[in-house]
Structure 1
Amino acid sequence: MKRPESPLRTAATFAAVAVCAATAACSSSSDDAGTTESSDTYTWWDPYPQHDDTSEWAQRVAACGDEAGVTIERTAYDTTALTNQALLSAQEGTAPDIILLDNPAVSTLADTGMLTTMDEFGLDTTAMDENLLAAGVVDGEAYGVPIGANTLAIYYNQDILADAGVDPAAITDWASLTAALESVTAAGHKGITFAGIGTEEGSFQFLPWFWGAGADLRQLDSPEAVEALELWTGWLDEEYAPNSVITNSQNTVWEEFLTGTFAFAENGTWQVNSAAEADFPTGVIALPARDGGVAPTPTGGEFITAPVQNDTGRYEVTTQIVECMTTPEGLVETATTFAYYIPPTQEGQEALVADQAELEPWVDAVRNAKGRTSDDLGTDYPLISEALWTAVQNALSGAMSADEALQQAQADADAATS
C-alpha cells in the first residue's frame, strides 16, 4: 500500500455503498462478481487494479487456484471502492471467497459480521509476526492474515551528509537527529521533509514520532504526545523542515527529496527502487524513538480475509489458496512484486534478506512496526486519526500551540467515539 487510507465508519461506508450502487461509478465489475455458484470457481477481490490479467501478480493468484484444483475469478478495485463493494456484497449475500483488504479496513468489515475468524476458517496463524497480525485482530480474534507489510523509515542523501560531516550511523535518537539537521542546514543544505498533510497520510507519518515518544492513541493530549508534536513544530521554527510539509503528501515528499537538495525524507518501503535510481547516492536509517532505539512505525499492506459463506464446505479449498499465497516462497514473491512488501513471517523475512541484503533495514522496521487499529481501537481508529491529523495541522500552521491542538484533538476524539 503506497498511500494508507483510513477505513470509513460503518454507517458512513454503507452510505457510500448506496451512492456507488445508485451511480454505478465505483466499480467496473458485473453485478454477479461476488457470486460463488460454481464449485470449480472461487472468487477473489483485491485492491490492485494496476495489475491486469497478464501481470505477475494475477498469474500468481491464478497459479494458487490451479494448485487447489479450481479456477480463480479475480476482480480488482481501488482501495476505497473495494471496502464499499465488500459491504454491499455482504448485504446482498454475494460476498467473494477471498478479499484482500487494506489492513485498517479489516476491523470495519469484521464489525459487520461478514468475515470469518481465522480459527473458524481453519488457518494456522502461529507463524505470523504478532505485531503484524495484530492489525487484523478484533476482540482477540484474527479476521485475516497479512500478505506482507510496508512501513516508514528515513531516507538520506549521502552526498549532503558527507559534505556536512554527518555520520548516519550516529543518528539513534531525536537529539542526534536534530543535531544532524542543524549540521546540514549550517552547511547550506535543506534538512528534512515529511508529510504533515491533513489526511490519513499525515497521521501515518506522525505516528512514529507519537509512538516513539511513548504516547497512546487513547490519550492524544498526553505530555508524550505534546513532545512529539513540538519536535515537528520546532523543526519548522528552526527552518530544519520547510513550510511545505503542512500540505505535503507522501508523493510530494518524495518529489522534494529527489531534487537532491534535502538531507532527509520520511517515506516508505515502496520507494526502494526509486531511491536506487536517484541522481545521488542514498541510504536508509530507522526512525528513531525519542530516547533511542527504533520507533514503532505504522504498518501498511493488505490482509487476506475470508467472508462468511452459506456453503461452509468451500472453506477447505479457500484455505488451500490462502496457504499457497503465504508460503515463505510466496511471501517473498509478493515482496518483490510490490517493491517491497516485507514478509510477515520470520522465515519469509530471512529468505528475502538472503536474496536482497539491502532490505535488512526495512525488515528491522517492520519487526518494530505496529498496526494502526492495534490496541483494540478497531473502528474507532479513523475517528481518532482524524482528530490527530487535525491537531498536527493546527500546530504546524501556528493556529494553536502543540498542547492546545492536542487538547482539542482529545476532546474531538472523545466526542466522536462515545
Structure 2
Amino acid sequence: MQHTVRHPRRKPTTLAAAAALALVGVGVLGACSSGGGAGGPGASGGSDDTYTWWDPYPQHDASSDWAGRVQACGEEAGVTIERTAYDTTALTNQALLAAQEGASPDVILLDNPAVSTLADTGMLTTVEEFGLDTSAIDQNLLDAGVVDGAAYGIPIGANTLSLYYNAEVLADAGVDPESIGDWDSLTAALKKVTEAGHKGITFAGIGTEEGSFQFLPWFWGAGADLTDLDSPEAVEALELWTGWLDKGYAPNSVINNSQNTTWEEFLTGDFGFVENGTWQVNSAADAGFETGIVQLPGKDGGVAPAPTGGEFIVAPVQEDTDRYETTRAIVECMTTPEGFVETANTFAYYIPPTQDGQTALLEESPELEPWVEAVNSAKGRTSDGLGTDYPVISEALWTAVQNALSGAASPADALATAQADAESGTH
C-alpha cells in the first residue's frame, strides 16, 4: 500500500538545539557507546539500491551480529544498507548538521531524549505520515518520541534501572529482599547491612545526565514532577539520598560515580545494593557471588517509575519521497516481534516494546521477568511534554543533586535554585 508523506518545512537548527543535544547525548546507558565513530560519514540520498543508516553503536563493527542484522533487513527490502556508526553525542549533532545541508540519511537510530529535539527542527517524518503501525507499542515507551501529540519514531527496545543486591551480604545481615517495598523498608535494610559490617548502597550521583537518570526513580517515586523541581516531594527524594550519606549507608564516592563506577564497586562484593540497569544482566550472572533484583520502590510502596533508556528508529525527511516505501520496509523488518527479541539478545538486554515481544523474550529468558516489570513501570524522560526543555531541566536537577550531596546547600535550597535555573532556561 502506498502512503503519502508530506515534506514539512525544516526549521533552522539553532545553537541552543545543538547544545541541548550535547546534554542528552551523554552515554547514559551501557548499551550507548561513548567510543568514536566507525565507518566514516555516510553519504545521504544514496542510489536506488543503497540506503543510508546511522546508529550509535560504533562498538559493533561490520563483522558483528548487529551489523549483520541491519544488512539482513536491507536484503529483505531488496537494497544494500550503507551503515555509519557514531557515538551518541556525535550522532545527534551530525544529524542536525545533515538536515541543515539536506543530506539526512534514510534511517537513524538515536537515543530517545534526542527524538523531540530533532522533531522540533522539522527534519523527521511522523510515524503516521510514514504509514507505520504503532498500535502494539507500549504507550509508556512510545511516549518518549511523542511531540505535540505526534509520534516521531518507534522504540527498538528499552532498558531501565532496578536495584541489584548481593544475596550473601543480605543473608549475613538478616535482610529478606522480599521485605523491601518502600523507602522505609529499604532504609531499614541498609541499616542492617552496615551494622553487619558491610557497605549499604552505591549509586551514580555524578554531575551529568547519568546523575539525573539515576535520581529520577526516587524523584518520581516521591510523586515529584520535572516541571516543579522544588516541590515538597522533590525535596523528600533528595533528602533520602543525603540522609543515606549522612548515616554512612552510601559512600561519599557517589558524588562522582558514573554507572560504570558503581558497578565496579558492587562487584567488589562489599555492597548490599547497587542501582544499575538491564545492561548489567550478564555481568551480574558472572559475579563471584549470588545476585538478585528488587524493584526500585516508591516512597509509600509500589514500583517507582524509572526512566527509559534505549534508541528510537526514525525516518528523516527526504527530498526524494519515492525512497520512503523501501525505508518503511526496512523499519518494519526491524520492528517485528521476532526483530525486537533479536535486538534484546544482541544488546543483552533490551526489553521489547510490545507485549508480544516481551512474551517471546520471556519464553527464551524467563529470568528477565523483573526487568520486563521494571520497563512496564518506566517512563520516558521527555514524556511529560517537556520536549526540548528536558536537557535544561535535567542539568538543573543534576546540579541540585551535586550541591546537596556535597553539602554545599540543603536539599531544599539546592532544588529552589534548580527550579529558578530551569524557569530561566526553558521556553
Instruction: Give every structure 1 segment of 4 or more consecutive aligned residues whose post-TM-superposition deviation is greater than 2 Å.
Output: 12-17, 26-31
Which residue in the other structure is 1:11 paired with? 15
Contact 1:10–1:108 at 8 Å: present in 2 too?
no
> What is the TM-score of this pair, normalised by structure 2?
0.92
Q: CA deviation at 1:12?
A: 3.8
| CA deviation profile, 1:19-59 (whole Å, cap 9, x unmatched) | xxxxxxx856556x232231111111000011111110000
Which residue in the other structure is 1:302 paired with? 311
Contact 1:132–1:344 at 8 Å: present in 2 too?
yes
Contact 1:95–1:307 at 8 Å: present in 2 too?
yes
- Residue among 176, 186, 200 paired with 2:185: 176
Which residue in the other structure is 2:373 paired with? 364
- Residue among 265, 273, 276 paired with 2:282: 273
Which residue in the other structure is 2:340 paired with? 331
- Residue among 322, 327, 344 paired with 1:318: 327
Q: CA deviation at 1:157?
A: 0.2
- Residue among 50, 58, 67 paired with 1:58: 67
* 2:273 corresponds to 1:259: no
Determine the C-alpha separation between the residues in 2 that align with 1:342 and 1:27: 26
Contact 2:358–2:372 at 8 Å: present in 1 too?
yes
Q: CA deviation at 1:84?
A: 1.1
Which residue in the other structure is 1:249 paired with? 258
Structure 1: which 5+ runs fail to align?
A: 1-8, 18-25
Determine the C-alpha separation between the residues in 2 that align with 1:373 and 1:15: 16
Question: Which amino acid counterpart does residue 280 of structure 2 have in structure 1?
Answer: Q
- Residue among 232, 238, 244 paired with 1:223: 232
Structure 2: which 5+ runs fail to align?
A: 1-12, 22-35
Determine the C-alpha separation between the residues in 1 that align with 2:249 and 2:338: 43
Which residue in the other structure is 1:344 paired with? 353
Determine the C-alpha separation between the residues in 1 that align with 2:416 and 2:20: 31
How many residue pairs get aligned? The number is 402
Determine the C-alpha separation between the residues in 1 that align with 2:72 and 2:305: 36
1:94-105 equivalence runs, <5 A: 94-105=103-114
- Residue among 156, 159, 162 paired with 2:168: 159
SS in 2 for 1:245: helix
Question: Which amino acid counterpart does residue 192 of structure 1 have in structure 2?
Answer: I
> What is the TM-score of this pair, normalised by structure 1?
0.94
Which residue in the other structure is 1:191 paired with? 200
Q: 1:206 to 1:14 in 2, by over 3 A?
A: closer
| CA deviation profile, 1:353-403 (whole Å, cap 9, x unmatched) | 111011000000000000001111011000000000000011111111111
Question: Which amino acid counterpart does residue 249 of structure 2 have in structure 1?
Answer: Y
Determine the C-alpha separation between the residues in 2 that align with 1:16 and 1:396: 25
Contact 1:121–1:319 at 8 Å: present in 2 too?
yes
Q: CA deviation at 1:213?
A: 0.4
| CA deviation profile, 1:221-280 (whole Å, cap 9, x unmatched) | 000000000000010111000010011000110000000000000000000000000011
Determine the C-alpha separation between the residues in 2 that align with 1:326 and 1:16: 28
Question: Which amino acid counterpart does residue 227 of structure 1 have in structure 2?
Answer: E
Q: CA deviation at 1:323?
A: 0.8
* 2:93 corresponds to 1:84: yes
Contact 1:236–1:242 at 8 Å: present in 2 too?
yes
Determine the C-alpha separation between the residues in 2 that align with 1:272 and 1:15: 33
1:97-116 equivalence runs, <5 A: 97-116=106-125
Determine the C-alpha separation between the residues in 2 that align with 1:315 and 1:222: 46
Alpha-carbon RMSD:
1.6
Which residue in the other structure is 2:49 paired with? 40
Which residue in the other structure is 1:127 paired with? 136
Determine the C-alpha separation between the residues in 1 that align with 2:190 and 2:37: 46
Question: Which amino acid counterpart does residue 38 of structure 1 have in structure 2?
Answer: S
Contact 1:148–1:343 at 8 Å: present in 2 too?
yes
| CA deviation profile, 1:313-371 (whole Å, cap 9, x unmatched) | 21111111111111111101100100110000000001111110110000000000000
| CA deviation profile, 1:99-123 (whole Å, cap 9, x unmatched) | 0010011111111110000011110
Determine the C-alpha separation between the residues in 2 that align with 1:257 and 1:27: 31
Contact 1:34–1:89 at 8 Å: present in 2 too?
no
